Amino acid sequence: MKIIYSYLNVIPTKIGIRAFFACLLLLLLFIACAETSEDRSTDIQDSTTVAIVRPDQEIYDARISLYDGAHKTTDLFADYIEKFEKLDSTQAKKLNVYFFDDEGKQISNLIADSGIVREQVNFMEVFGHVVVTTEDSAVLYTEQLRHNTTNDKIESDVFVRIIQKGDTIQGYGFESDRKLRNIKIKERVSGTLKGTEEVIE
């Protein structure tokens, strides 16, 4: 812009008027080409970004199995999944998940609206209307839940409610084994006991 400004402040003579306008035209043409080149560069970058986030696979009525060594820990069924291979990320919708113990016996079932699975590290996190039902009919309700394979726990950072043998316990922040037998609720714990109006706080 400084170059343009200096040219605009030149007072042309009658003899140099054509040369002045020719130079000015060339300069404006050069700037227009440079802007077009920048625009094209931006378009290329944008298209590259789109390509990066595009899923490698889209699958309907999918099934994913997670393993700890040779032992299968989880079977995950989904209405629809998108797989991003480079990110080791699978995004799933309408989940139905089964957990198994060391002997291959089903110990709990989970349903959720959506979730993220990273197969290489055996990580799974689910969201929206999450319901977990165990083999002994304990039921957990929450909006977010993850499976921590480091300690083989299921965990949540949000509100949870658990109904077990007629007792209800609820609160914020949660940790348990996959059978919901060793439960820890971290904050604002409350509940009711079966056959009573007693409130646990």
Q: Pick 79 or 67 by higher pLDDT.
A: 79
Under DSSP, the state recorded for 10 is -
Confidence check: pLDDT of 126 > 90: yes
Domain shared by 49 and 11, yes or no: yes
Determine the pLDDT at residue 19.
Answer: 53
Domain shared by 41 and 68, yes or no: no
Confidence check: pLDDT of 132 > 90: yes
Cβ(162)–Cβ(139) under 8 Å?
yes
pLDDT in tens, 87-125: 888 899 999 989 888 888 898 899 999 999 887 777 889
Domain shared by 26 and 79, yes or no: no
Domain shared by 96 and 183, yes or no: yes
Instruction: Return the CATH number at 79.
Output: 2.60.450.10
Of 145, 119, 112, 125, residue with least CA distance to 66: 119
Tokens found for residue 122: 């055996």
Domain shared by 157 and 91, yes or no: yes
The total of other beta-carbon atoms located within 10 Å of residue 91's CB is: 16
Tell me the residue range of the domain where 17 lies: 2-53
Domain shared by 98 and 163, yes or no: yes
pTM for this one?
Answer: 0.65
In degrees to the nearest 10, what's the CA dihedral of 21, 24, 28, 33? 100
pLDDT in tens, 42-62: 444 444 444 457 888 898 998
Q: Of the candidates 53, 69, 93, which is a domain's last residue?
A: 53
Domain shared by 103 and 34, yes or no: no
Domain shared by 65 and 33, yes or no: no
Determine the pLDDT at residue 44.
Answer: 40
- The structural domain count of the chain equals 2
pLDDT in tens, 7-46: 334 444 444 555 544 544 554 444 444 444 444 444 444 4
